[in-house]
């Protein structure tokens, strides 16, 4: 057995041992890390709500403006994220007419720009006026998550009661102790993060269901809705259902009105169905209860795609169009040879220069003889001497000589002589003909 074969056998044996050791001592495991929301979730705050409704058998879709009413069936549900999208009385009447035919509209009242001192919005809210609903002040601003939650990640255990300084110190302490999720290999050892935020029980709205269970909701009570029917049931068309956050509240976070065969639900907080809060308490189930059997249409503010997203999506078309434009420019430039011609003069020449240029052109084009013959023929016709003999010509020349001051020889040469062969002779004959024409 040669040394070469021994080396090959040893190498193969070493490779086999390495493979066996890899499959024996190495264990594969998976670690999930929260990388934040994707681009689609950032553009569409109600993406989680759409996916939830799709999972329970409904057909959610997005719309861009209130004109979608013309194509909605009476059994559909229309969610309007801001009542300002019902922007005039005609649109309000269209919405109410669709509700009377059996539709269900869920409308979030516009609260941005509301002035509690003057009790009005910067712009009129036509839908709230039609329903005789006003906005009243609630309990101040609610914080549903810690302000550092988006920065530190969803899995960071932060309490809304902690200040930012306390939250950062606690987060850094856990990192120093090595108990973060990225450093743990046993996922079951991690304490499960609570699904609901830490809020006081009196801040929740509890609603009974037909099955005897209860639905808990956590509304932002900074703004509330008020209708005279909350205190006086004798008013015209009062709300049929509502619930208060606190018993001593003047307003409520949502109202329901019956109009014809349909229902209108008014709310002041659309955040309970946005992606960062729909998983809290029974918000998702409450959305399912309000949804009908037909389509569920989300009418939210349009979120325009960013320039970076459009550049990434249409990069191929952009560079292809640029390459074609460059090729077309090169083909255009390739048709031009030699030095560029000087730019033409823009100043207009005088009348004398124009006449001189035309005369030179006619002379070099051998057209002066035709001009001379034509002028002669016209003068002879006027003199009635086209067919005159020698005696008649002399008599006519003598008469014209006395009138023009020209010699008889010059007159005969100009009228009947040989056409000029030089520029000077042509000019002289034409001048003589013009003098003769002037005395006729």
Q: Which structural domain range is residue 357 located in?
A: 351-439
Q: How far apart, in whole angstroms, are the C-alpha atoms of residue 88 and residue 414?
A: 92
Whether 418 is in a domain gets the answer yes
Q: Name the domain boundary from 330, 364, 399.
A: 330
Same domain for 114 and 226?
Answer: yes
Same domain for 128 and 227?
Answer: yes
* Mean pLDDT to the nearest integer, 183-188: 48
Same domain for 49 and 138?
Answer: yes
Tokens 């403006």 sit on residue: 65
What is the number of domains present in the chain?
Answer: 2
Whether 101 is in a domain gets the answer yes
Of 162-171, 173-182, 395-404, the least confident: 173-182
pLDDT recorded at residue 178? 59
pLDDT band at 78 (very low <50, low <70, confident <90, very high): very high
Of 32-36, 152-156, 300-304, the least confident: 152-156
Same domain for 216 and 322?
Answer: yes
pLDDT recorded at residue 153? 56
Same domain for 357 and 255?
Answer: no
Highest mean pLDDT pick, 194-198, 233-237, 320-324, 336-340: 320-324
Q: How far apart, in whole angstroms, are the C-alpha atoms of residue 35 and residue 279?
A: 19
Whether 102 is in a domain gets the answer yes
Same domain for 209 and 306?
Answer: yes
Whether 65 is in a domain gets the answer yes
Whether 406 is in a domain gets the answer yes
pLDDT recorded at residue 1? 56
State the DSSP string of 121-174. Answer: -SS--HHHHHTT-EEEE-S----SS-TTHHHH-TTS---TTS-HHHHHHHHHHH
Highest mean pLDDT pick, 31-40, 101-110, 147-156, 429-438: 101-110
Q: How far apart, in whole angstroms, are the C-alpha atoms of residue 217 and residue 252?
A: 13
Say whether pLDDT at 37 is over 80: no
Same domain for 136 and 226?
Answer: yes
Same domain for 123 and 87?
Answer: yes
Same domain for 326 and 359?
Answer: no
pLDDT recorded at residue 346? 73
Same domain for 222 and 356?
Answer: no
Whether 180 is in a domain gets the answer no
pLDDT recorded at residue 185? 47
Whether 291 is in a domain gets the answer yes
**Could you tell me how many residues make up the chain?**
440
Q: How far apart, in whole angstroms, are the C-alpha atoms of residue 39 and residue 19?
A: 42
Same domain for 364 and 298?
Answer: no
Q: With contact defined as beta carbons under 8 Å apart, do 379 and 433 qualify?
A: yes
pLDDT band at 189 (very low <50, low <70, confident <90, very high): very low
Q: In sequence order, what E strands does 294-424 have?
A: 296-299
Same domain for 319 and 391?
Answer: no
Which are the contacts of 69, defined by CB distance < 8 A and separation ≥ 6? 78, 94, 95, 98
Output the pTM of the full model: 0.56
Say whether pLDDT at 324 is over 90: yes
- Cα–chain center distance at 118: 36
Of 47-61, 217-231, 373-387, the least confident: 373-387
């Amino acid at each position: 057995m040669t040394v070469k074969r021994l080396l090959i056998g040893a190498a193969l044996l070493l490779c086999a041992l390495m493979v066996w050791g890899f499959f024996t001592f190495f264990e594969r495991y998976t670690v999930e890390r929260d990388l934040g929301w994707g681009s689609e979730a950032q553009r569409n705050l109600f993406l989680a709500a759409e996916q939830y409704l799709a999972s329970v058998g409904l057909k959610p879709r997005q719309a861009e403006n209130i004109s979608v009413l013309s194509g909605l069936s009476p059994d559909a549900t229309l969610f309007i994220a801001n009542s300002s999208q019902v922007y005039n009385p005609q649109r309000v009447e269209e919405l109410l007419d669709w509700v009377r035919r059996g539709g269900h509209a869920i409308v979030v009242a516009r609260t941005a720009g509301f002035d509690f001192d003057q009790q009005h919005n910067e712009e009129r809210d036509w839908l709230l006026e039609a329903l005789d609903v006003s906005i009243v002040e609630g309990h101040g601003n609610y914080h549903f998550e810690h302000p550092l939650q988006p920065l530190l990640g969803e899995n960071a255990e932060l309490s809304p009661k902690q200040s930012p300084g306390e939250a950062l110190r606690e987060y850094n302490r856990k990192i120093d102790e090595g108990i973060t999720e990225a450093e743990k290999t046993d996922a079951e050892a991690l304490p499960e993060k609570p699904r609901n935020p830490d809020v006081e029980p009196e801040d929740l709205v509890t609603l009974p269901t037909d099955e005897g269970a209860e639905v808990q909701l956590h509304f932002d009570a900074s703004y509330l809705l008020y209708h005279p029917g909350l205190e006086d049931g004798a008013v015209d068309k009062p709300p049929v259902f509502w619930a208060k956050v606190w018993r001593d509240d003047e307003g409520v976070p949502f109202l329901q009105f019956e109009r014809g065969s349909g229902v209108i639900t008014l709310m002041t907080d659309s955040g309970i169905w946005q992606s960062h809060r729909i998983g809290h308490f029974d918000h998702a189930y409450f959305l399912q209860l309000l949804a009908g059997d037909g389509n569920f249409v989300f009418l939210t503010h349009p979120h325009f795609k960013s320039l970076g997203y459009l550049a990434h999506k249409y990069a191929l078309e952009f560079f292809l169009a640029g390459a074609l434009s460059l090729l077309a420019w090169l083909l255009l430039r390739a048709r031009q040879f030699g030095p560029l011609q000087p730019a033409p003069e823009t100043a207009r020449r005088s009348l004398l220069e124009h006449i001189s240029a035309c005369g030179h052109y006619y002379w070099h084009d051998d057209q002066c003889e035709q001009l001379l013959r034509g002028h002669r023929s016209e003068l002879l016709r006027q003199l009635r001497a086209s067919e005159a003999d020698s005696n008649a010509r002399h008599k006519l020349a003598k008469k014209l000589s006395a009138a023009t001051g020209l010699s008889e020889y010059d007159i005969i040469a100009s009228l009947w002589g040989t056409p000029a062969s030089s520029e000077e002779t042509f000019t002289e004959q034409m001048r003589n003909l013009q003098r003769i024409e002037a005395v006729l």
